[in-house]
Amino acid sequence: MTSFSKKKADEYYQALLDRNTAYVGIFYVGVKTTSVFCISNCRARKPKRENVEFFPTFKVAITNGFRPCKICKPTENANESPIEVKNAIKLVKNNPKEKISDFKLRENGISPDKVRRWFKKNYSLTFHAFQRMYRINNAYKELKDGKKTINTAYDTGYESLSGFGYTYKKIIGKSPTKSANKQIILINRLTTPLGCLFICATDRGICLLEFTDRKMLETEFKDLQKAHNAKILIGQNMHTKQAKKELEEYFKGERQTFDVSIDALGSEFQKNVWNLLAKIPFGTTTTYSKLAKKLSSTTTVKSIKRANGFNRIAIIVPCHRVTREDGNLIGYGGGIERKKWLLNHEKSCKPKLIEVSKRSN
């Protein structure tokens, strides 16, 4: 059953035949004979029209029983930043103390409209807001290292101390002179075979890892800032970089455990539950009742479920490995189909990883 009209589906099928990159991310095509789904520019042999159906998102394709194509890697490449966006971000990073105007973008062959749309869709903010956050983040680091406010202000491209101070306080939450001990949370975005993830980290470790389409994500961000008494800014640190590397290895089937530092705030009980989750072996599952018994004889299944639901660090703290007593999959913020995919991925990778471990020993 297609999610589009026949006319639209015919248009998409032609785009598939033409390997038209303009349709990448616009639709996902499921091939009934192989049970895989692709994006428009896939290099694989083209299926017959009667053997395909089209979906608006990769989640719908997965829900309908299709798995990502290994050739075009649809959930990764469809969410990858377009080259113009990458070049715009590169301009910002190479010129951290300069405001990149629309004129500057056009001068470098970049469409300001395309960049604006991408940032709004993927970060829910404008490109110019992204620039301000990036510049203020650099300023915050300089001030924390002892640089004088007036030097930082002018070096960051501001023409007045008052303008710098206003923007700084609006983003960080405190004035430049009072922010030495103010903590910030850095947020970055990464693509995976299951779609995009937001990754947040403090100086101490990862504090959030969630799929970008998760419900109530904005509420999570607000709770996170309140719990850490910190502001979220776009950027990276050693923890986000390490987590990205380890997650890439995990999805390639090359890693069973994670070594990145965690900075998850919660009650003592919640932390105990999260520690138990982290000890569930790769490629296996447990139940809520078994977790409850491990904590104490008085711990209830309901309290375990509630603590499990407050886990903000997907995959690394593997709440996807918890099932009901009858083995049914319930209770996963990223969606049941993702939970199913992760468990199948781990089961298929486990024999290979065990064999590699044996050979290395």
Give catalytic residue positions: 319
| Listed residue (249, 270, 202) closest to 349, CA to CA | 249
DSSP 219-285: HHHHHHHHHHTEEEEE---HHHHHHHHHHHHHHTT--SS--S-B-----HHHHHHHHHHHTSPTT--
Exposed, middle or buried: residue 159 (CB in 10 Å: 0-12, 13-18, 19+)?
A: exposed
Cβ 299 vs Cβ 287: under 8 Å: no
What is the greatest pairwise CA distance in the chain?
Answer: 68
Query: Nearest CA to 51 among 31, 65, 34?
Result: 31
| DSSP per residue, 12-35 | HHHHHHHT-GGGBTTBEEEETTTT
Using alpha carbons only, give the angle 85, 237, 226 rounded to the nearest 5 degrees. 95
Q: Say whether 185 sits in a helix, a strand or coil.
A: strand
CA 173 to each of CA 135, 178, 182, 184: distance values in angstroms, whole numbers, following the listed order? 15, 10, 8, 10
Q: Is 43 helix (H, G, I), strand (E, B) or coil?
A: coil
Burial of 230 (0-12, 13-18, 19+ CB in 10 A): buried
Contacts 24+ apart (CB under 8 A), 222-225: 224/185, 224/200, 224/312, 225/185
